[in-house]
Amino acid sequence: MNVIKSIDPGSVAEELEIEPGDILLTINGEKIVDIIDYMFLVNDEYLEIEIQKPDGEIWEFEIDKTYDENLGINFENPIIDHAKSCTNKCVFCFIDQLPKGMRPSLYFKDDDSRLSFLQGNFVTLTNLKDQDIDRIIRYRISPINVSVHTTDPELRKKMLNNRFAGNIMERLKQLIEGGITVNAQIVLCPGYNDGEALSRTLTDLMAFHPNLNSVAIVPIGLTQHREGLIEMVPFNASTSLETIRRVTEFQLHALETLGTRFAFLADEFYILAGVDFPEDEAYESYIQLEDGIGMIRKLGTEIDAAVKAKTAKKASPEPIRSLVITGVAAAPYLSQISAQIEAVWPQVKMDVLGVENHFFGPRITVSGLLTGRDILSAAQQYEALAEIHQILLPEAMFRSGEDVLLDDMTREMIENMLGKPVYKVACEGDALLTVLMNGGHHV
């Protein structure tokens, strides 16, 4: 139901005395099914809207406004409608590998194009009917992030365990011909969609460029909670190196053909293979950064630039010793960054603690999947904790816009238990240097 949660101060809705608890019924005679309806219809310069008050009375308004001017209405449910759940049984599904006892929202598998547009979630397109595709095109729901995985129809049916999953190329063609921009993702699984299957997928997707903007390739994540699930093999140094070789070869071809590398590998492949990350320019302005692609290279590049322009940064005259807590994958690279910083600003001390993931298992090495309990336990056992002035946690560890970790432990709880100030920091060179050099109260 379209229940209004709050009204922006100074907005059109406030002037009309629309209030929290009211219900938005229609705009220009059309019922509001979800947030996409609202976003599309509210753009007009002239609106007729119906509002239902808590006592059931219907108020009607005629509104003249500028095009694209927001009414200032915020809804209790961000998408208004119920989110569409995933009907696939993917062989690589991370949610199926979650242990029991976590908050219920973590077990919900969404496959909703509206959440893709609003929040960047990836969707498989398997639950869309022709009228859903038409609606996406009509309302210009763009860009959409699509979990492709493979363009081979039979292989995609097998990987998603869905007999309707084989029409991915047709669905992509409909969207792209309708003017919708697509970002694609491939969760790579050894023995399934890697090797020649990956080459075929990338070649097929090239045909949709530039509307299909780029492809992110990430390795399957395997937790220790896979009871009753199909056996899957993780990537190792050898298979990661082969994947890097194959994708690098493709990138050179795409660069020559399309003017872009088009496909980009997650950092984990380079870490597992034990090889250097590509240079900064190879990530092409980090167009797949939200998928964890190029994050370590970007941070290193930003720190390099700051070190070279050292006079532009002023450190506190008082020594500050910080403990940066991260996953075991990124820890060696952050230690290198620490040495760079200390060489220029000796009073800036940055300890790095790579935390093993006991909750999900040792194969999960990224910081974004660490729980508060693992973080707290590792910090409590850190020998030099008494000498630490502040503790820094990557922003990726927290629920978006909140101070809450995966297991509902909060930043404040960790702070109280350790007796040290704890700050969350964006994975950006300037943000990291600012808090290292002057203390977290500047974050």
Answer yes or no: are the C-beta atoms of 217 and 263 closer than 8 Å: yes
CA distances from 353 to 252, 344, 390, 439 (A): 37, 22, 13, 18
Tokens for 136, please give them.
Answer: 């996406």
Nearest residue to 379 (alpha-carbon basis) of 424, 408, 418, 437: 418
Residues 53 and 101 in one domain: no
Residues 282 and 317 in one domain: no
Nearest residue to 6 (alpha-carbon basis) of 56, 77, 96: 77
Residues 351 and 206 in one domain: no
Whether 255 maps to a domain, the answer reads: yes
Largest Cα separation within the chain, whole Å, is: 70
Find how far residue 430's CA is from the centre of its chain: 21
**Under 8 Å CB-to-CB from 382, ≥6 apart: which residues?**
323, 351, 353, 388
**Under 8 Å CB-to-CB from 89, ≥6 apart: which residues?**
96, 160, 161, 162
Residues 131 and 257 in one domain: yes
Answer yes or no: are the C-beta atoms of 46 and 63 closer than 8 Å: yes
Give the per-residue pLDDT at 117: 41
Residues 209 and 240 in one domain: yes
Residues 138 and 271 in one domain: yes
Whether 81 maps to a domain, the answer reads: no
Enumerate residue ranges in the chain where pLDDT < 50: 80-83, 107-108, 110-120, 442-443
Whether 88 maps to a domain, the answer reads: no
From 292, 312, 331, give the residue that closes a domain.
Answer: 292
Beta-strand ranges (E) seen in 160-286 are 182-188, 212-219, 263-265
Whether 84 maps to a domain, the answer reads: no
Give the per-residue pLDDT at 239: 97
Residue labelled with tokens 């370590």: 296
Give the per-residue pLDDT at 106: 57
Reduced to 3 DSSP states, what percent helix, strand and coil does the chain have, rounded to the nearest 5?
40, 20, 40
Whether 85 maps to a domain, the answer reads: no
Give the per-residue pLDDT at 246: 98
Residues 318 and 239 in one domain: no
Q: Taking CA 301 as the corner, what is the angle to CA 295 and CA 303, rounded to the nearest 5 degrees?
A: 105
Whether 401 maps to a domain, the answer reads: yes
From 292, 324, 353, give the residue that closes a domain.
Answer: 292
Residues 189 and 337 in one domain: no
Give the per-residue pLDDT at 84: 53
Give the per-residue pLDDT at 114: 46
Give the per-residue pLDDT at 243: 98
- The CATH number linked to 67 is 2.30.42.10
Residues 99 and 66 in one domain: no
Strand pairing category for 23-27 and 30-31: antiparallel
Whether 200 maps to a domain, the answer reads: yes
Q: What is the residue range of 69's domain?
A: 4-75
Residues 256 and 344 in one domain: no
CA distances from 119 to 144, 161, 182 (A): 10, 26, 14
- The CATH number linked to 402 is 3.40.50
pLDDT tens per residue across span 119-132: 446 788 887 778 87
Tally the domains of the chain.
Answer: 3
